[in-house]
Structure 1
Amino acid sequence: MKISIAGASGYTGIELLRGLLPYKEVEVVQITSRQYEGKYLEDVFPHFSSTKYAELKFDSEIDPECADLYFLCLPHQPSLHLVKELIDKGKKVIDLSAAYRIKELTRYPEFYGFEHSYPDLLEKAVYGLPEIFRDQIKEVSLVANPGCYPTATLLALYPAVKENVVSSEKVIVNALSGISGAGRSLKQQFHYPEAFGDAYAYNPVKHRHIPEMEDVVQRFSGKKIGIRFTPHILPVSRGMISTVVFETSLNKSQLEELYRLEYRYEPFIRIQSSPPHIKNVVGSNYCDIYVDYDEKNKLAVVISAIDNLGKGASLQALQNLNLMTGLPEDKYIKELSENSILFP
């Protein structure tokens, strides 16, 4: 199978290339980057110089005929239209933007600033969280790869919502992310002198990932649950923690049993006996989850940790690739997760 990666010089694109190195069933035939057009991969990213993709050259635009499957690591609105072009040509697409994640059309102008032009295609897209939508992912040509915050949060919330043990209509989520979640573009607050030794909340009331999480929860449960979500930046390059709090009548041992049963066959979910650390998941496709209970306030506290570039983006995209192409779901990714060579 021939693979093309649009936006291959960003963090998610480079992580995809790292993840694809051991694959024997696919060949990366095109990478794009307007910034590095005409340059070899090894010249821009020297850590690829001894790999089979060292002499791939960056193109400026996607060739819609050169590949069988396309990974789109592009801004939301360019992805919106490119997905349509590629699907019309019979290609498979894994879109890492938010252009096809939310089914509710009215949320796009409100949170992303554009009208969604392709409601029929949006309806056919499958949300690429394998632990919830595995069977649908196997059957489609368009997968909307989840955001990093939603991945960490939804995996922490899913068993409780699925089994109807969340007692309230609102869930409180506080999440912390490494700086790479903002991408490679230069922004003052992410420069080393600005970010080092600092931590802060941002978009505490109207973050773009809120409608994504609420939409997906309603999709798998049929319930409208409000997400009170506050994201924070940590002065680390990558990694993410999401702390999810909700009312429930279950005690700690019942909650822990529920989560262990739900995820007992999942290759990339690890239930932990103590709060997880991001350093234990960085470079991997693992999601580490810890379940606790606040007896005084009758609140469940579920904490998840992922790598925002791994399970939160590119390695999850490879998990979806495996499902879409009939490969074993954990093929190559398990080994990558246990023996990671990290960038950045």
Structure 2
Amino acid sequence: MKVGIIGASGYTGAELIRGLSLYQEVEINQIVSRNFAGKKLKDVFPHLSDSRYQDLTFEEEADLDSSDFYFLALPHQPSVELVKLLHEKGKKVVDLSAAYRIKNPSAYPNYYGFEHKYLELLSESVYGLPEIFREEIGKASIVANPGCYPTATLLALFPAVKEGIIQSDSITVNALSGISGAGRGLKQHFHYPEAYGNAYPYNPIKHRHIPEMEDVINGISDKKLLIRFTPHIIPVSRGMISTVVFKTDMKKEQLEELYRLEYRYEPFIRILNNPPAIKDVVGSNYCDIYVDYDERTGDAVVISAIDNLGKGASLQALQNFNIMTGMLEDKYIKDISRVSILFP
């Protein structure tokens, strides 16, 4: 199977190449980046200089015919158009942007600044969170890979939402992310002198991942739930923790049993006896979850940890790729953490 990666010179592109280098059934036959066109992979990403693709050259333009399967690691608006073109050619796509994640088209002008023109494709696309939408992903030709904050948060919420145990109408989420979540572009507040020893919240009222998360949980819940979401940047390269708080009358033992039962067959979910740590998931596709109950306030406290570039982006994209192509879901992915990693 020939695979193309469009937008291959960002952090998510590098992680896709790192993972796909293990796939014996796959050949990456094109990597596309206008910024690095003409350069070899090993010169742009020295940590991949041992990869079998080390001499592959970045192309300036994508060939939409030469690959069987495409990963898009592009900004949102270009992805809207490119997904449509690839779909018309009968290609399967995993899109890592937000272009096809949210079913409600009114969210796009409000949160992303553009009108979504392809409502039929938007309806046809499948949200790529396998723990919730595995069956739909297996039949899909367009999979919208989730954002990193939504992945960590939705996996912390799903069992509770599915079983209807949340008593309030709103859920509080505080999330911490490594700097790589902002991408590889140059921005002053992510420069080393600005970020080192620093931590801060951003977009605390209208973060663009809010409609994505509410879209999913309100498709599962029998009542309308709102998410009070505050993201924070912390001075680490990669990794993410999401702390989710909601009212319930379930005690700790009941909550733990619920989560263990719901996720008992999931290859990449680990239910822990202690709060999770970023270092334990970096470079992997795992989501570590800890469940507790505050007797004093009547709140469930669910804490999840993922690698924002792994389960929060590229390795989850490979999980979706495996499902879409009929491979074993965890094939190769559990071995990826042993392959050279960018800034561990």
TM-score, length of structure 1 as denominator length: 0.99
Give runs of aligned pairs for residues 307-326 of structure 1, distance below 5 A. 307-326=307-326
What is the SS of the residue equivalent to 1:94? strand
Supply the distance in 2 between the matched residues of 1:324 and 1:294 (Cα, whole angstroms).
41
1:252-273 CA distance string (max 9 Å, x none) = 0000000000000000000000
Report what 2:170 is aligned to. 170
**Contact kept? 1:284, 1:340, Cα under 8 Å:** no
1:62-95 CA distance string (max 9 Å, x none) = 1110101100000000000000000000000000
Report what 1:270 is aligned to. 270
Return the offset for 1:221: 2.7
**Contact kept? 1:138, 1:324, Cα under 8 Å:** yes
**Contact kept? 2:267, 2:330, Cα under 8 Å:** yes
Report what 2:342 is aligned to. 343
Return the offset for 1:222: 4.3
Gaps of 5+ in 2: none
Larger mean CA deviation between 118-127 and 57-66 belongs to 57-66
Report what 1:305 is aligned to. 305
Gaps of 5+ in 1: none
Supply the distance in 2 between the matched residues of 1:329 and 1:117 (Cα, whole angstroms).
33
State the AA in 2 paired with 1:343.
L
Return the offset for 1:52: 1.1
1:133-163 CA distance string (max 9 Å, x none) = 0000000100000000000000000000000
Report what 1:60 is aligned to. 60
Report what 2:70 is aligned to. 70
Supply the distance in 1 between the matched residues of 2:47 and 2:334 (Cα, whole angstroms).
21
**Contact kept? 1:217, 1:223, Cα under 8 Å:** no
1:15-57 CA distance string (max 9 Å, x none) = 0000111101111000011110111111111222222101111
Return the offset for 1:170: 0.4
Return the offset for 1:237: 0.1
Give runs of aligned pairs for residues 229-268 of structure 1, distance below 5 A. 229-268=229-268
Report what 1:28 is aligned to. 28
TM-score, length of structure 2 as denominator length: 0.99
Supply the distance in 1 between the matched residues of 2:164 and 2:184 (Cα, whole angstroms).
40
Supply the distance in 1 between the matched residues of 2:306 and 2:137 (Cα, whole angstroms).
21
Larger mean CA deviation between 42-51 and 162-171 belongs to 42-51
1:184 aligns with 2:202: no
Report what 1:292 is aligned to. 292
Return the offset for 1:218: 1.4
Supply the distance in 2 between the matched residues of 1:141 and 1:236 (Cα, whole angstroms).
35
**Contact kept? 1:124, 1:142, Cα under 8 Å:** yes
State the AA in 2 paired with 1:223.
K
What's the RMSD between the two structures over aligned residues? 0.8
Report what 2:98 is aligned to. 98
Supply the distance in 1 between the matched residues of 2:160 and 2:77 (Cα, whole angstroms).
34
Supply the distance in 1 between the matched residues of 2:24 and 2:39 (Cα, whole angstroms).
25
What is the SS of the residue equivalent to 1:22? coil
**Contact kept? 2:170, 2:228, Cα under 8 Å:** yes
**Contact kept? 2:18, 2:51, Cα under 8 Å:** no
Supply the distance in 2 between the matched residues of 1:89 and 1:123 (Cα, whole angstroms).
18
